[in-house]
Amino acid sequence: MSGPRRPTDPSGLERYYVLTGGRSGPGGSSSSLDVATLITSRAAAVPGLQHEHEEILRRCRDPLSVAELGAHLGLPFNILAVLLADLLDAGRVEARHPIPASGAGRGPDLALLEEVLSGLERL
Amino acid sequence: MDLKGFDHPDRYSADGTLPAGARSVKVMIAGGFGTGKTTMVRSVSDIKPLTTEETLTQASADVDNLIGVADKQETTVSLDFGKIGINDQLVLYLFGTPGQERFWFLWNGLFKGALGAVVLVDTRRLASSFRAIEEMERQNVPFVIALNVFPDSKDHPVEEIRDALDISPHTPIVACDARDRASSRDVLIALIRHLKERSAVALESR
């Protein structure tokens, strides 16, 4: 049996803030992250990395979305965003944001829509 | 059981990994509580749908105080999602919006980077999707309405529903069975066609 939970933290979230040194995103590099942003490791894990950072590098050898990473690691988006910002700032991962609906007031790219359409038609 | 990657060798590999340089697009599945958002994500996704979470932090203070709980309590809201391999370089992520619309502001531009949205409507409870429709209009997200046909749904003429929902004549309304993969895929196709038409009109008017 574990001890009674502190009433001030019924969800156990304080634990997560230990991982981020008390920071909760979004801010800085993490503010542009989207749930559909693809993360790819640019470097292998090196000794001395925080466990969660190491885990992210290991899971992102092939591109993986922020949402999938969060689901696999069991981390909420705002906490994961902070951890990813550390790795982005250190150049250890690369982020590719989802292709936006429209750039600078234009409608979505027709070629992109064609590509999506033909993919869906083949399902 | 679909074994994607085996029957579609041009799509991403059998274990679902993406090649370096892959890109993503996202589509939101919105609608009121119980309209079939998660069902649709599940039926059309290549992977077993996953859930990602967000916690309500500082912004929660007022909300939490209203319901009389401690300041430090944080609420978790979840987002169900799935993905579809479009081709070997492009993947489509589908996100079912959380039932509690008041939490939508939480995600960094939850709708901002989306190509568009599907708003699911249960014709037996039209009002349950009003909030989702308003939110799409407010955030200027292009959308299609998908009438999820439940076994005891009555047959309503589309124009009657259009009037009841106060939807612009340019917004497509399609019927679907969210449990069915092909039917859900057809809703996504209707959305992409709608986006193409919109951008063709935008190009002409320049």
Residue B44 CB neighbour total at 10 angstroms: 26
A20 at the B interface (CB within 8 A)? no
The 8-class DSSP code of residue A42 comes to: S
Domains of chain B by residue range: 23-204
Cα-Cα-Cα-Cα dihedral sign, residues A79, A80, A81, A86: positive
Interface of A with B in 104-123 (CB under 8 A): 106-110, 112-117, 119-123
Residue B114 Ramachandran class (φ > 0 left, ψ -120 to 50 alpha, else beta): beta
Mutate to test the interface with B, among A35, A58, A72, A78 (most CBs of B within 10 A): A35
Q: How far apart are CA B39 and CA B36, in angstroms?
A: 5
Output the pLDDT for position A114. 95
Output the pLDDT for position B5. 40
CB nearest A98 (choices: B11, B21, B24): B24
Kindly report the CATH class assigned to B23-204. Answer: alpha beta
Output the pLDDT for position B65. 42
Output the pLDDT for position A97. 93
Q: What angle do CA A84, A87, A91 make, to 5 degrees?
A: 135
CB B53 within 8 A of CB A11: no
Output the pLDDT for position B54. 75
Min distance A85 CA to chain B CA atoms (Å): 14
A40 at the B interface (CB within 8 A)? yes
Write down the pTM of the prediction: 0.84
Output the pLDDT for position B41. 96
Give this complex's ipTM. 0.84
Interface of A with B in 64-103 (CB under 8 A): 64-68, 70-72, 76-79, 81, 96-101
β B76-87/B50-55 pair status: antiparallel
Output the pLDDT for position B59. 43
| Beta carbons of A117 and B108 less than 8 Å apart | no
B92 at the A interface (CB within 8 A)? yes
CB A57 within 8 A of CB A79: no
B52 at the A interface (CB within 8 A)? yes
Kindly report the CATH class assigned to A14-121. Answer: mainly alpha
Residue for token pair 């156990």: A12
Tens digit of each residue's pLDDT, chain A (123 residues): 444 444 444 455 666 667 777 776 555 555 689 999 999 999 888 888 899 999 999 999 999 999 999 999 999 888 899 999 999 999 999 999 999 766 545 556 889 999 999 999 999
Q: Which residues of chain B have pLDDT under 50?
A: 1-9, 58-72
